[in-house]
A = this chain, B = another copy of it.
Amino acid sequence: MSRVFKALSDPSRRRVLQLLRAGPMSAGDLADQFAVSKPTMSAHFAVLREADLVHVEKSGKSMIYHLKLSVLEEALMGFAQTFGLGTEAVSTLPDGQEVLP
């Protein structure tokens, strides 16, 4: 849990996760989106791996990173729930309409 929040405490790492939302991406393609050196990004990837927020698949000479959305969800929502957050029934019905008893 600490590792997840630590991972999320850096804007670059949060952006990596956002990029991976759209689908798996190689380390190089990810790194190209950032202004820092590739070794620096590699270190960020390592932090995300240690937090188990991504999973890597080897493909030829590339490393393909995948977002582990379920892990993010579990950590974020699990923690939120310990504060009673995130589980209130929020209506998605048109305004004024209700589910009848």
Contacts and interface: CB of A to CB of B under 8 A. Distances in A.
Q: How many copies does the complex hold?
A: 2
B92 A86 contact: no
Interface residues of A, number: 30
Interface in A23-66: none
Interface in A72-97: 72-73, 76-77, 79-80, 82-87, 89-90, 92-93
Contact of A86 (B8, B86, B99): B86
Contacts of A6: 5-6, 9
B76 A80 contact: yes
Contacts of A93: 99
A14 B14 CA distance: 20
A6 B5 CA distance: 7
Given A72-B83, A89-B92, 10 more contacts: A1-B11, A1-B14, A5-B9, A14-B79, A17-B83, A18-B83, A72-B85, A76-B76, A76-B85, A89-B90
